[in-house]
Amino acid sequence: MKKSLIVFLVISLVAVSFAEINLRNIIIVPKPSDLEVKVWLNKPEGSVYQIDEKIEIFFRVNKSCYVSIYSIGADGKITLLFPNRFDQNNYVMPNVNYKIPTSDKYFLKVAPPEGKAFVQIIASTSFIPILQQLKDLGTRQLFPILSEEGERYIQQQIIPYLTGNWVSDVTYYYVGRTPRTGTVRLESVPTGAYVYVDGRYVGRTPQTVTLDEGSHFATFYHDGRTITETFTVVAGRTITVTAVFQRTTIDVRSTPTEAQVFLDGVFIGLTPLQTEVTPGQHTLLITKEGYTPFQQTFTIVAGETRIFNVTLTRATATLRIFTNPTGAQIYIDGRYVGTAPSNGLSVTVDAGTRTITARLPDYEDAMTTVTINPGETRTVTLTLRPIPRTGVLNIFTTPVGASIFIDGRYVGTTTDRGLSVTVDAGVREVKATYPDYEDKVISVEVRAGETKRIDLVLEPIIRTSSVSINSTPSAALVYVNGYLRGITPLRIDLEYGTYEIVLIKGGYYAEVFTLVVDRPSITISRTLRPIP
């Protein structure tokens, strides 16, 4: 008897959870692209599913690519649905309608409580690391929860790692009840902007759509510019959302230049700079080390250019410096400022981060870094140590266990905690040897009293294998670690190691497997499965 696995898509109540979740931060909105992906369910979008009812997911792409699918609960919880332990191959062919589940080994089942849930798909023509990580996770665990903090996960773990040619799509459904709806008219100035609502492409402006009551967001694209508007739908009413593509900018200049500029607490560059901002109220902060910060809150209207020309004033502070022993020469940021007597040396400096160095014959330099505020008086004491005549080498090797010779004399073998050797000050020759690896020799200068770490990486003697790759049927494209190497039957030389092999032939499922090359000759044969 075949066993079935029930997967519960947990959806929190909309009235409770969606008030706390910012849809703009949890739904990925793609830019218009020639790569297209579509995801839908076995019922029309926005349909109601009852608790314990089975649900199926369908998707289609217009190019061969890798895909991942996950659900977003009303409470922000994200669950990975595909690839999974039963459906591991996430490299799909173009213009084919795929269904999840693909077999009767498991099925998806709706669970309480009532509310609204999303299903989002990400597709990429290249094998980017984030899709590989999701695939590894999905095939190791059974429908894992990616995060219970959806906004943080999407913004920090997904979006920053989407690279190359990628696109996404999203659909939604309701659990247990029929939502009330309102009408939204989407417009732009000028017209013809691409518009996505809650991450789903709806067309070019103007457009009229029907949405469930509550919070939503629309993203408009026009001429390389993006505007996102958040709005609230009221049941039975019609509202208009308009994106006005006027350039609203600030022009920030300062004396001296290259001051740091922060807008609403976010670093945006160094002066002079021009940048676009959204109309409304903002806070501008200009800082430069050694100068008093400038801060101003301002309001800017659409289409306006606001110019800020700021002269920063120097901020000074006082350092009172003592040394042990007394009489050391004092340098601040590399500039000599005097000798520290027994009652200390007082120096007026620019506020900010300062580096203080004390020097005395037959003693090691003493150094410290302090950050001092404008108008502050700070006392600093530096203790100098006598100069020793030997130093210590901490030697680490890759691989561990290499034999170490210093100036031709064997001194020991490295461990995972390294090898510590006391040597005379000066230039020393360090040699590491290990069976089947090239010797590594370096010269290192050791100062008296210094403890220096050395990391030696020994290169293995390269070994290669003759690898024969066959397929049934033949003439399949062979990709090794993402690079096309030929068609089957194929013989290639590979260095010892681990490789990812992908076999692709039109009309057949892609065959993906890992090959460990660890002997002089290897023969691999694979039978491709035809696509029904």
Give the pLDDT confidence of 448-488 residue by residue, as tens digits: 888 999 999 999 888 889 999 999 999 999 999 999 999 99
pLDDT at 21 over 80: no
Q: What is the pLDDT of residues 445-458, one digit of tens each?
A: 998 888 999 999 99
pLDDT at 299 over 90: yes
Q: Say how far apart CA 27 and CA 215 lie, in whole Å.
A: 13
Select from 123, 120, 127 the least CA-distant residue to 67. Answer: 123
Cβ–Cβ < 8 Å for 378, 370: yes
Write out the residue range of the structural domain in which residue 440 sits: 390-457
Q: What's the mean pLDDT in 261-273?
A: 91
Cβ–Cβ < 8 Å for 405, 433: yes
**3 or 188, which is more confident:** 188
**330 or 12, which is more confident:** 330
Q: What's the mean pLDDT in 366-377?
A: 90
So what's the pLDDT on residue 308? 95
Q: What's the mean pLDDT in 136-165?
A: 81
Q: Evaluate whether residue 453 is within a structural domain.
A: yes
Q: Return the amino acid letter for 250.
A: I
Please classify residue 391 by burial: count the beta carbons closer than 10 Å to its beta carbon, then call 0-12 exposed, 13-18 middle and 19+ buried: buried
Question: What are φ and ψ of residue 95, in 5° steps?
Answer: 60, 35
DSSP bridge pairs for 350: 316
Q: How confident is the model at residue 3 (pLDDT cuts 50, 70, 90)?
A: very low
DSSP bridge pairs for 432: 404, 440
Residues 394 and 351 in one domain: no
Q: Evaluate whether residue 425 is within a structural domain.
A: yes
Three-class secondary structure of residue 353 per DSSP: strand
Q: Evaluate whether residue 100 is within a structural domain.
A: yes
Three-class secondary structure of residue 139 per DSSP: helix
Rg over CA atoms, the chain: 33
**Number of independent structural domains in the chain:** 6
pLDDT at 15 over 80: no
Question: What are φ and ψ of residue 294, in 5° steps?
Answer: -110, 130
Give the pairing of strands 377-383 and 316-324. Answer: parallel
Q: How confident is the model at residue 51 (pLDDT cuts 50, 70, 90)?
A: confident
pLDDT at 76 over 80: no
Residues 396 and 429 in one domain: yes
Q: Say how far apart CA 165 and CA 34 lie, in whole Å.
A: 9
pLDDT at 322 over 70: yes
Q: What's the mean pLDDT in 130-145?
A: 84
So what's the pLDDT on residue 190? 84
So what's the pLDDT on residue 203? 92
Residues 364 and 219 in one domain: no
pLDDT at 262 over 50: yes
Residues 414 and 364 in one domain: no
Q: What is the pLDDT of residues 486-501, one digit of tens each?
A: 999 999 999 888 999 9
Weakest-pLDDT range from 51-55, 238-242, 258-262, 365-369: 51-55
Residues 218 and 276 in one domain: no
Domain end call among 407, 441, 457? 457
Cβ–Cβ < 8 Å for 308, 253: yes
**387 or 450, which is more confident:** 450
So what's the pLDDT on residue 326? 93
**What whole-number percentage of the chain has pLDDT above 90?**
54
Q: How confident is the model at residue 178 (pLDDT cuts 50, 70, 90)?
A: confident
Q: Say how far apart CA 291 and CA 259 lie, in whole Å.
A: 9
Q: Say how far apart CA 181 and CA 136 lie, in whole Å.
A: 40
CB atoms within 10 A of CB 337: 18
Three-class secondary structure of residue 219 per DSSP: strand
Three-class secondary structure of residue 235 per DSSP: coil
Residues 367 and 237 in one domain: no
**72 or 357, which is more confident:** 357
Residues 44 and 86 in one domain: yes
The two three-digit tokens of residue 419, written as one number: 């090898």
So what's the pLDDT on residue 245? 80
DSSP bridge pairs for 319: 347, 378
Q: Evaluate whether residue 276 is within a structural domain.
A: yes
Domain end call among 134, 149, 175? 175
Q: Evaluate whether residue 532 is within a structural domain.
A: no
Q: Evaluate whether residue 1 is within a structural domain.
A: no
Residues 439 and 374 in one domain: no
The two three-digit tokens of residue 198, written as one number: 């809650």
Domain end call among 193, 219, 244? 244
Q: What is the pLDDT of residues 408-443, one digit of tens each?
A: 999 999 999 999 999 988 899 999 999 989 999 999
CATH of the domain at 303: 2.60.40.1120
pLDDT at 20 over 50: no
Range with top average pLDDT, 15-24, 59-68, 284-293: 59-68
